[in-house]
Amino acid sequence: MIRLFPQHTRRNAESLDGVWTYLFPKSGMRIASDARQDSAEVVTARLSVPGVWEMYPDRANYRGEAIAIKHIRLESDGPVRFVFAGVSHTCRVLWDGVEIASHHNAYTGFDAVLPHAKAGEHELRLHITNEHGELSALHIPNDYYNYGGISRPVAIQHLQENVFIEWMHLTPGIDADPRRVHCALRLRNIGETDFVGSVEICSEENGDPARPMARLDVAVRGNHHAVVEAELHLPEASLWTPESPSLVSVRAELGDGVRIFDDLLERTGLRTVEVRDRKILLNGDPIRLAGFNRHEDHPDYGCAIPVPIMLKDIDLMRSMGANAVRGAHYPCDSRFLDLCDEFGLLVWEENHARGLRDEKFEHPRLREQCLACNEEMVAQHFNHPCIIMWGILNECMSDSEYGREVYAEQFDQLRTLDPSRPLTYAAFRMREDLCQDLPDICGWNQYPNWYIHQKPNECLDIIFEYQDSRGLAERPLIISEFGAGAITGFRDPIRKGKWSEERQCELLEELFADYCTNPRVEGLFIWQFCDVRVDESWAMQRPRTMNNKGIVDEYRRPKLAAGTVKKWLTEWLAQEAPEQRT
């Protein structure tokens, strides 16, 4: 399913994961939305969902269009909602040939609703493209690969009425008390008739009977949304920390005075995040962040990572001393975030944008697509306690006045969507950047002695000079990317040539020695967790057409550097005084 825990008892939700039929156009042709399986213009395949078509040998390098088809039988008339956790990267959804939804961006979810679905046999059809060009400002030839297909889970929800709970956002920290929670519920009416009813909110803990917490009268006009709010108090609940990631469950039930016909259960952790005096504070206590940047990529699954691999990734990162991960450079799969909630792994989550400069940054669709990504990211991932900061626009045009306008626009949007979390971004032009006064936390990407011939402490001095001269000395500082490449199995113990495992170890030792001994560094995110596939256009600067800076390779086999990372991260986090640990 979409999440790792059941969210409904009143609403009947079924997974549509499994084997779907895909239609591909023959070489050099386009594919029509109504293309049939027996058409001479198409090639038919049976592919897994979630999955990407690059895992199908005949489409290993395919960039183009496809149609994904699932036949569905409805047993009765009534409203239906389809939930898509991720389709890469742009699609139109058709029901019996009629378009009912469209969406852009591989890394955020969306839905499609049918207020009056009829019983019987039906065809669900997705017209998908992963093409580069005018359609997308965000999916471009990049230092990671843009796959194609239904890459995250799909579900069908059979609604009892045309009114349902779209989302519930839980914000701990009313009056600085994590156990006092602001609850916002968004109700959606997909019918023509106005609705008047009520919502009951209760807590559900450890199999105990539900504890009523609030009752709200609600009214939603036809074909509109409505948001209602309440204050919840959980005085006996434990706080969420990395060492003790205690979760609380809250259920909202929607009724019309006669019966309860819809519900939504959400989990969260009671914790607060704030920034003060160069520190990041979790529940009021300073915390350092030490971990990895992580792409969603695997040679057997592409970006459609199954849960066992997600769990293995978390286990490997934690075994190397990490307490944090950065979702680079797009929103994470909700199931991965569920696991981070459960294991106490802190997350920097950011929108989908990497290295967009000059004409790429001025793409006519960039601003609208980024704003849409931000809104969906926050709405869908709001309740994950593991997410302690939002980020945007990695290594984009933050050194221009137009860039500053775009960064400011998105930071203003995020502060409106979620004022409870600090904001950040990763910059790399250490003297020319014009935007580091806009977020709450300063993030800097550095590759001393890999891309530039400077020592790590020399790069730090440039950053300190920049921040101090602009009145940013009290902002927390994170080294958001640093590292070196190594090809698994390339051993060169004498010369320690570039791309050898020995050179990666040596360079990381030098980086850690400077970063971990500098009192102004509050966070370290190694580039990167695992080797990942890149676009073909990057092949001349990326051996194997891979970004090889992983501490483990694409199959999660540790390189020599894994021991170096474990030593330094473990020691660095242990340097905190016991009373400062969360």
Domains and CATH numbers, the chain: 18-152 (2.60.120.260), 163-268 (2.60.40.10), 273-580 (3.20.20.80)
What average pLDDT score do residues 422-433 get? 95
Where does residue 346 fall: left (phi above 0), alpha (psi -120 to 50 degrees), or beta otherwise?
beta
Average pLDDT estimate for 405-411: 98
Q: What is the DSSP letter of 115?
A: E
Contact 470, 435 (CB under 8 A): no
pLDDT digits (tens, 9 = 90+) for 113-148: 999 999 999 999 999 999 999 899 999 999 999 999
Q: Where are the alpha helices (DSSP H) in 239-365?
A: 307-319, 334-343
pLDDT of 202-260, one tens digit each?
A: 998 765 667 899 999 999 999 999 999 999 999 999 999 999 999 999 999 999 999 99
| Burial zone of 496 (CB within 10 Å; 0-12 exposed, 13-18 middle, 19+ buried) | middle
| Single-letter amino acid code for the residue at 378 | V
Q: 211 — alpha (psi -120 to 50), left (phi > 0) or beta?
A: beta
To the nearest whole number, what is the mean pLDDT of the chain?
A: 95
Rounded CA separation 505/481 (Å): 16
Give 4's DSSP letter: S
* Angle CA 362–367–369, to nearest 5: 115
What pLDDT score does 581 carry? 38
Q: Which three-class secondary structure state does DSSP give residue 412?
A: helix
d(CA 150, CA 559): 32
Distance of alpha carbon 195 from alpha carbon 197, whole angstroms: 7
pLDDT of residue 577: 45
- Entry pTM: 0.96
Structure tokens that stand for 549 in this block: 């800076």
Q: Retrieve residue 14's tokens.
A: 């079924």
SS3 167: strand
Alpha-carbon separation of residue 243 from 122, 285, 475 (angstroms): 49, 13, 26
Q: Which residue, chain included where needed, has tokens 């940054």? A: 361
Q: φ, ψ for residue 192 (rounded to 5)?
A: -85, -25
pLDDT in tens, 299-345: 999 999 999 999 999 999 999 999 999 999 999 999 999 999 999 99
- Does residue 152 contact residue 85 with C-beta atoms inside 8 Å? yes
